[in-house]
Amino acid sequence: MKVVCKTNNLHDILDPYTSARLKHYISRSDGEIDLEIAREYTVYGVEFWDNCPWFYLCTEEDDEYPKPFAAEFFEVIDEHISQYWKLSSVPSEDRENSTSLVFDEWSKDPSFYERLIDGDPNAVLLFSKYRDLMNSE
């Protein structure tokens, strides 16, 4: 899946419901998001928060892990989902269910993303492998 950033500021989201929902997750007072307008990004996973998609993507070439960004900041230019994604829906502490489309090992391990952020060598290596595969889809 490929997306293009159409806006990188929460204050540019005009729909009041959407803006209010996103403010629960984005705390910067200036509303700035670490995205480059008109840049194309590969989506490495999708997670649903409040029944709305958030795309996991890397903002820099050397990022060791993807970060989640609300779908409202993007236009989808290639809607084909990755052949490596699996649907996962598991009970979650902070939400009723955690539903995502991510690669197999991530879908089966609720702590995978946390380990990836913490720099666990196995998680970093695994994400790097899938990143290369998805970049070439």
Six-digit token pair at 44? 């490495």
Higher pLDDT: 98 or 11? It is 11
pLDDT score for 29: 87
Percent of the residues in the chain that have a pLDDT greater than 90, as a whole number: 82
How many of the other CB atoms lie within 10 Å of CB of 6?
13
User: Any idea what DSSP says for residue 32?
Assistant: B
32-73: pLDDT as tens digits: 999 999 999 999 999 998 889 999 999 999 999 999 999 999
Residue 135, exposed/middle/buried by CB under 10 A (0-12, 13-18, 19+)?
exposed
Measured CA to CA, the distance from residue 45 to residue 55 in angstroms comes to 6
Measured CA to CA, the distance from residue 80 to residue 17 in angstroms comes to 28
* Average pLDDT over all residues of the chain: 93
Asked if 66 and 58 count as a contact pair (C-beta separation under 8 A), the reply is yes
Query: What residues does each domain of the chain span?
Result: 2-135
pLDDT score for 64: 92
